[in-house]
Amino acid sequence: MKPLALLIPGLDGTGEMFYRQIAALSSRHRVLAWKFSERSSFDFRDLVEELGEGTAGEEPGSILVVGESFGGTIAMHYVLAYPERVSRLALINTFPYYRPRRRILLGRRLVPLLRVKRLQSIKNFIVDRALAHEGVPEEDRKVYRRIVQLVNFGAYRRRLELVQQVDLRPRLHEITVPTLLFASGRDKLVPSIADARFMASCIPDSTVYEFPEAGHALLLTPGFSLAEYSEATGNRQRS
């Protein structure tokens, strides 16, 4: 039986954003793009327990764990909780501590307003322009807009609160599985390259891959294939 690839979503919580990566990963893995339970009261422990229950019974040291953006913080928590289950860790445009504090505070305050259709339309227009500027095709932007409609607002707001709380910097050295760090140079939400380089300086067996022209939505960027890197190991930096 193929080993499991556990794909942990970002703030959307749906797992749908991995759709471009699933076919290639499926050649070597059983792919599980996780959709979190729709609830508005939880912490990191709850999220990790949910993943832990959903991946129980896998062969020791077999799971490829992938975390994108906020999902990367959950992925790191998962690896710290279940190191014996994991073969490799892949982190995409993520962070151990979210440094733009004012941005996250503003985001939390604006979430309730996104229920207003006109404001949703403005937000969608801004995001669509940003994705287009990053080279994401119109077809994928349409899929992105559809996925956003699936997001549970209560859970989304709670995930933003957890972004504000997370600080894994003191524990990065405890992550001993081979780790791949993917970082975009034009990421407007996360200082991805700076954070990836910092995490690589702390995680013993890590590799940084930098994409200077890509934005935060690296998963949707034409030409990016997570499967091409999933077997890579070592402690070197590429760009």
Residue-range domains of the chain with CATH: 4-238 (3.40.50.1820)
- Reference 3, options 55, 50, 51; nearest CA is 55
Predicted pLDDT of residue 236: 41
The answer to whether residues 54 and 32 touch, using CB atoms and an 8 Å cutoff, is: yes
Provide the pairing of β-strand 30-33 with 179-184.
Answer: unpaired
Predicted pLDDT of residue 112: 52
Q: What is the sign of the dihedral through the CA atoms of 133, 137, 142 and 144? A: negative
Predicted pLDDT of residue 173: 98
Q: Which residues of the chain have pLDDT under 50?
A: 113-114, 116, 119, 233-239
Q: Please give the Cα distance from 158 to 13 (Å, whole number).
A: 11
Predicted pLDDT of residue 238: 43
Instruction: Give the contacts of 194 (CB within 8 A, at least 6 positions apart).
Output: none
Q: Please give the Cα distance from 71 to 86 (Å, whole number).
A: 16
Predicted pLDDT of residue 102: 63
Q: Please give the Cα distance from 162 to 159 (Å, whole number).
A: 5
The model's pTM is 0.87
Predicted pLDDT of residue 100: 76
Reduced to 3 states (helix: H, G, I; strand: E, B; else coil), residue 182 is: strand
Two structure tokens written together for 8: 């942990």
Predicted pLDDT of residue 146: 85
